A and B are shown apart, each in its own frame.
Chain A
Amino acid sequence: MNPLKLYSTLLYAQVTLGVACYCVAVERPTLAMISLGTIALSWLALHASRKPGADGPIGGAMPRWVIFLASVAISLATILQHHAGFKERMIEVLSEYILLLNLVKLFDRRSIRDDGQVMLINGMLVTCSMIFTIDLYFAGMVMGYLAMTMLTVMVMQIKIAHDHAQAADDTPRAAPPAPPLSRAYRIQFRDTALVLGILCLAMSVAGFLTMPRGSLPAFASLDPDGPVTGFNPNIQLDDDTQITQSLNPVMYLKLSRPGAESLEFDGPVLVRGNVLDRYDPRQKRWNRGRYSYFLTAEYSQRDKRELRLDAAPMDREPFAAEFTMLRPMGETLFSIQSPVAFRSEVHTAVWHGKLDNVLTGRLPPNLKGTVQYTVACVDRGPQPALAGEIARHLELFPQSLQFSDLDAAPSFGSSADDQEERRLRSLRGDPGASPIYYARRPVVRDPRVRELAESVMRQAGLARDPKSMDDPADHLLAAAMADHLRARCAYTLDLPALPPDADPISSFLFDSRKGHCEYFASALAAMLRSIGVRCRVVTGFMATEFNSGGFYVVREADAHAWVEVYHPDAGWRAFDATPDGGLRDVAAQAGGWLALLRGFYEHLEFQWITNVIGYDDQARSQLIGREINLHEAWHWLLVRVRAMADWLDRLTGAGRWSLLLLAAAAAAGVISAVAATILLARWAWARWASRWRNWLPRLAAAPTPRPGAVDFYAAMLRILARSGLRKPVHQTPAAFARRLVDSDPVRFAPVAALTDLFYEIRFGDRPLDTDRRRRADALLNALRRPARP
């Protein structure tokens, strides 16, 4: 296609893609529709013809003063609208401003200079978009946008050259001449664009990898409100919030042990988020008690070191849980089991509650995007933290020796208890720090709960003294009650209406018997605490989906709540009362090819975030200073092939044939590469041989004409034959040329010149030297072009 006509189309395509990138980044479909409609209107006004084939667009560019006024109005409106929160939302406001300017400027396209301004503003818009999101699909859109921009700029240079020549032309002309186009032009322009694009990409990747990085926190954003997910740090039981069933990924979780590539558990992995040990029956809300802040470890991001949270047991090997949060989720930091070490490049401070094993962290303000951190955890095993902390507390506060008396009567909520607690706090001088009560307060006052718990206990053949602090049989009790709930209650996301003054836990246990995971966990905690078992509710995620790339994909629908019960020897153990079918069914809604493709996309996104977005100074140092180890490289290759085979296996269900398929594909790739190498070598050899053939006769001073010296005449005949002009056998070259020149002197002038050259070399014993070859090439090129401007 004519590049001068293609130019406007490319420009509009580029602007459209840029605006689409921005709208996707800020997730505003309405803005996208309005913007794209405006772009279409601009196209209609400035380019679309009135009739098919007619010259001239329907409308024209807006007057300059209208554009000026519109720009001023946009500036004022932006300032007035955002003057209050401009600082907090600076990038967002600026982006909107740039978008509006871009749309207005589209109606002011008069010259190539205006087009350049439109492209520049659009580029700024896409640059701003990069701050809002780092999703893989957005990166793909940006790549497409940049490729489109490069192509547009290259065509723009042709337009500039044409306009430059037109501007200097004194001769008045009705229309600029159409540039001569040929197949060679199209092929070579395409190849040049491709090569230059690859060259730019390669150089940019090299620059990206080697550029030194700073140590400042990443991904500044202006949206303090995180996205809505299924996870909440607290539980509110009486509102009408629906548990989301969205399959959007929330985080990628990679578990690994030293020396192992990745770790996959047999069952689901419970990702601990927040621990809730206090239930407020008035607000019907689970909270994290103030005890949690007892003994914390602070962590400064500036240290850039691994924070040791706790000593790992000697007989347990810790494993690393690498969290890649696609979006920050408040102050909650997730972990698996008991965290013993923490490392992050982003967080500015981290607190670890040793009493409840909860991690919380502080992120830089206005942060958005991925957050990566690694938590070293200890596998399931004894965690005698609580006993140690209680003993430590009693050493610090000997007055609290009376706690055992208080604790013997678990009747939290009564006025007498409140008074006693206040008295104890006044004695201690440290309000709110009494681990004796930790996770033992009764949840509801309904006596039916205790009766139900005792009934289940009796049915299980167990017994417990409610006054005892911790009983070794507590785990058995918890398991029995969880079984009871699973058998007696049903999982549903469609919650029945709750009477106004009814307690949601009692209602769940004795009336509706339907609820989701939060109800099951709350009910189990209420039953356990009613008979004195120390337990708490934990919110987090249940990761079940293991990607073949070696990581878990945690989705919004995987949000979950369960219960942890304390055991004096084994520590805190998780008990999940939710029926198995509940969460799994939600998470396994999509299946088949779509799910596999989604898995592949998530694998790519994980690699993108881990290796590109999360590329930091340490990774750079490792990459640059890395020594090449063939053994490691081979191992790496084998692991990747195996992973690819697994993925193919899942995709096709071909079982062991998947490896054969992969092997066949690899063999085909190798054969293709070898064939391409041979062809390339042959081509290179032909070129070099041709060059040497030209040089050797010169060196030997033997300018004898070679048989191939008149190949250009054969090439001329081939060109003419393509146009249906074949030389009859009986006709001499001179007669043939004369016939053609008589029919069209202008078009076939090169034929006459080539024929003369042919006679000169063939019969005149002249060599085909560089000058003659160049002349022949020029004439052949002139003959290939059917018309010139």
Chain B
Amino acid sequence: LAGVFYIMIAFFVGLAAINSHTNMLYWLFSLMLSTVVVSGFYSGMMLMGLSARRIVPRRGMVGQSLTAEYELANRNRIIACFALNVDDHVLDGDDAPRGTFRRGMRGGRVASGWALHIPPRGSARVRSTVVPRRRGLLELRGFEVHSGFPFGLVRKALVFKRSAQVIVHPRCHRLGRRLIAELFGGDSSSPNTSRDLGGQEDFYGLREHRPGDNVRMIHWRRSARDGTLMTRQMTRPRPAQIVILLDLRPGEHTPDQAERAIELAASWIAHADAEGYAVGLAVAGPVAPVLRPGAGRDQRNRLLDALALIDLRDADHGTPPLNERAGHLVISPLPRQDPIGPPDAARLTAADLNRHAPPHAAKESAA
């Protein structure tokens, strides 16, 4: 629009020049037209030699910044790029249209980044940040690199129709540190604690020494007796197992309450993982994988992925099988008449989220 306005003014200056036969106005008119040409030429030349690649994280979290990076490479040998904007087309749920895209890409949100300068045959990384509003799949449909440099009269754009998806985890709230102990009777190791080979705690057995074994673990007396170096094998405690049983079967709850229940489950997963528990997940109602208890970052991501991808519109697929060795935590949107899970399972509802995790204490995402 600025360019159109500018050309209109140039047109009037031209009329004034012709009317008054003033050479200074002729020159000004000529200069105004030349700036339009130069602006369009330079903008086009800048973008002609530009290639772009988008780098997005695989996962994000509701309410937390999601940073996408765009690697812009300027293949041009002479022309440097200045003042480049990268607008990415973000669709996460039914967001209201906020930005417009060219060539039919309309609606959704725009995540924008900018690059001050890319030298000839150089590259730069541009970051744009978007805050996901809903769990699920956040779709980056395509991005546009545009610039009005040098004079802003002509805006050139380069559209890259490359889609990408990011799994947006439910929001994780910070929970109280003693919450697990309170719910599971003060025994942090749980009733079903066991030990695995490979630790440093209790004696497990003897085996032949192998190169690389710790020499301090050599059982010298047995070695002297057998004439072969023998190494002591020790045990380590197996982490306590908690299975979160998310009850999302059709009921009287609202979708918001179901989302709150999912958030509570996610918070529990993050919390229990941080406390060293092996966490599993089973969802009653919607289609979701049953995940056996496990520990570590991969397991946590698998669990949160499963929560992120729960489709509440299809929530009538029965109850998952129970894991007898683990402690159970049943989370439901509302208290139900037909509870699932073992009788000794701990039970929480979505309303407990406010009690366990105040809204202002959002936990930083570790995704």
Q: Is the CB of B65 within 8 A of A179?
A: no
- Interface 1/0 per residue, A727-761 and B, CB below 8 Å: 00000000000000000000000000000000000
**A interface: dominant SS:** helix
Q: Is the CB of B130 within 8 A of A130?
A: no
Q: Is the CB of B125 within 8 A of A788?
A: yes
B residues near A199, Cβ cutoff 8 Å: 34, 38
Q: Cα distance A184–B124 when bound, in Å?
A: 13
* Interface: A189 (CB within 8 A): yes
Using A153-B152, A157-B150, A203-B37 as known contacts, say yes or no to A127 and B84 having CB atoms under 8 A apart.
Answer: no
Q: Is the CB of A3 within 8 A of B116?
A: yes
* Interface: A778 (CB within 8 A): yes
Within the complex, the shortest CB–CB distance from A635 to chain B, in Å, comes to 28
Q: Is the CB of A204 within 8 A of B116?
A: no
Q: Cα distance A654–B42 when bound, in Å?
A: 49
- Interface 1/0 per residue, A758-789 and B, CB below 8 Å: 00000000000000001001100110000011
Task: Tally B residues with Cβ within 8 Å of A.
Answer: 61
B residues near A215, Cβ cutoff 8 Å: 21
* Interface: B214 (CB within 8 A): no
Instruction: Choose the segment among A206-214, A316-324, A413-421 that binds chain B (4+ C-beta atoms closer than 8 Å).
Output: A206-214
Q: Cα distance A778–B122 when bound, in Å?
A: 6
A residues near B42, Cβ cutoff 8 Å: 196
B residues near A778, Cβ cutoff 8 Å: 71, 73, 122-123
Using A168-B112, A214-B21 as known contacts, say yes or no to A777 and B148 having CB atoms under 8 A apart.
Answer: no
Size bracket of the A interface: 35 or more
Please tell me which one of the listed residues A116, A220, A615, A777 contacts residue B122 in the complex, with CB atoms under 8 A apart: A777
* Interface: A170 (CB within 8 A): yes
Q: Cα distance A238–B9 when bound, in Å?
A: 54
Instruction: Choose the segment among A69-77, A159-167, A398-406, A539-547 that binds chain B (4+ C-beta atoms closer than 8 Å).
Output: A159-167
* Interface: A219 (CB within 8 A): yes
* Interface: B83 (CB within 8 A): yes
Q: Is the CB of B121 within 8 A of A777?
A: yes
Q: Is the CB of A781 within 8 A of B83?
A: no
* Interface: A169 (CB within 8 A): yes
Q: Cα distance A781–B150 when bound, in Å?
A: 23
Instruction: Choose the segment among B24-32, B160-168, B303-311, B312-320 that binds chain A (4+ C-beta atoms closer than 8 Å).
Output: B24-32
Instruction: Choose the segment among B12-20, B186-194, B200-208, B327-335 that binds chain A (4+ C-beta atoms closer than 8 Å).
Output: B12-20
* Interface: A188 (CB within 8 A): yes
B residues near A154, Cβ cutoff 8 Å: 82, 149-151
Q: Cα distance A131–B23 when bound, in Å?
A: 10
Q: Is the CB of B22 within 8 A of A219?
A: yes
**B interface: dominant SS:** mixed
Within the complex, the shortest CB–CB distance from A326 to chain B, in Å, comes to 15
Q: Is the CB of B123 within 8 A of A168?
A: no
B residues near A188, Cβ cutoff 8 Å: 80, 117, 119-120
Please tell me which one of the listed residues B116, B123, B127 contacts residue A185 in the complex, with CB atoms under 8 A apart: B116
Within the complex, the shortest CB–CB distance from A203 to chain B, in Å, comes to 3
Taking CB atoms and an 8 Å cut-off, the chain A residues in 146-193 that contact chain B are 146, 150, 153-154, 156-158, 160-162, 164-165, 167-171, 179-182, 184-185, 188-189, 192-193
Q: Cα distance A179–B9 when bound, in Å?
A: 33
Q: Cα distance A781–B124 when bound, in Å?
A: 8
Q: Cα distance A196–B19 when bound, in Å?
A: 30
B residues near A161, Cβ cutoff 8 Å: 83-85, 114, 116, 147-149
A residues near B152, Cβ cutoff 8 Å: 153, 156-157, 160
Using A157-B82, A211-B30 as known contacts, say yes or no to A116 and B38 having CB atoms under 8 A apart.
Answer: no
B residues near A164, Cβ cutoff 8 Å: 85, 112, 114
Q: Is the CB of B23 within 8 A of A184?
A: no
Q: Is the CB of B114 within 8 A of A130?
A: no
A residues near B127, Cβ cutoff 8 Å: 789
Please tell me which one of the listed residues A134, A181, A200, A217 contacts residue B21 in the complex, with CB atoms under 8 A apart: A217
* Interface: A216 (CB within 8 A): yes
Q: Is the CB of A157 within 8 A of B149?
A: yes
Within the complex, the shortest CB–CB distance from B176 to chain A, in Å, comes to 27
* Interface: B2 (CB within 8 A): yes
Q: Is the CB of B129 within 8 A of A160?
A: no
- Interface 1/0 per residue, B103-122 and A, CB below 8 Å: 00000001111101101111
Within the complex, the shortest CB–CB distance from A10 to chain B, in Å, comes to 14
- Interface 1/0 per residue, B139-179 and A, CB below 8 Å: 00000000111111000000000000000000000000000
Using A131-B22, A150-B151, A218-B22 as known contacts, say yes or no to A169 and B38 having CB atoms under 8 A apart.
Answer: no
Within the complex, the shortest CB–CB distance from B127 to chain A, in Å, comes to 8
Q: Is the CB of A204 within 8 A of B114?
A: no
* Interface: B3 (CB within 8 A): no
Q: Is the CB of A127 within 8 A of B25?
A: yes
* Interface: A612 (CB within 8 A): yes
Within the complex, the shortest CB–CB distance from B273 to chain A, in Å, comes to 25
A residues near B131, Cβ cutoff 8 Å: 170-171
Q: Which residue of chain A has its CB nearest to the CB of B31?
A: A204
Taking CB atoms and an 8 Å cut-off, the chain B residues in 193-251 that contact chain A are none
Q: Cα distance A215–B122 when bound, in Å?
A: 53
A residues near B23, Cβ cutoff 8 Å: 134, 208, 218, 612-615
Q: Is the CB of B123 within 8 A of A777?
A: yes
Q: Which residue of chain A has its CB nearest to the CB of B43?
A: A157
Within the complex, the shortest CB–CB distance from B22 to chain A, in Å, comes to 6
Q: Identify 29 residue pairs between A and B in the complex whose beta-carbon atoms are under 8 Å apart, listed by A's number.
A: A127-B13, A127-B28, A131-B25, A142-B24, A153-B152, A154-B149, A160-B148, A160-B152, A161-B83, A161-B84, A161-B147, A171-B129, A171-B131, A182-B117, A184-B117, A189-B80, A192-B79, A203-B30, A203-B37, A205-B30, A213-B21, A216-B18, A216-B19, A218-B20, A218-B23, A774-B123, A777-B122, A778-B71, A782-B125
5 interchain residue pairs of minimum CB distance: A207-B30, A168-B112, A203-B34, A204-B31, A165-B114
Given pairs A188-B119, A200-B35, 5 additional interface contacts (CB within 8 A): A154-B82, A160-B148, A189-B117, A204-B34, A206-B30
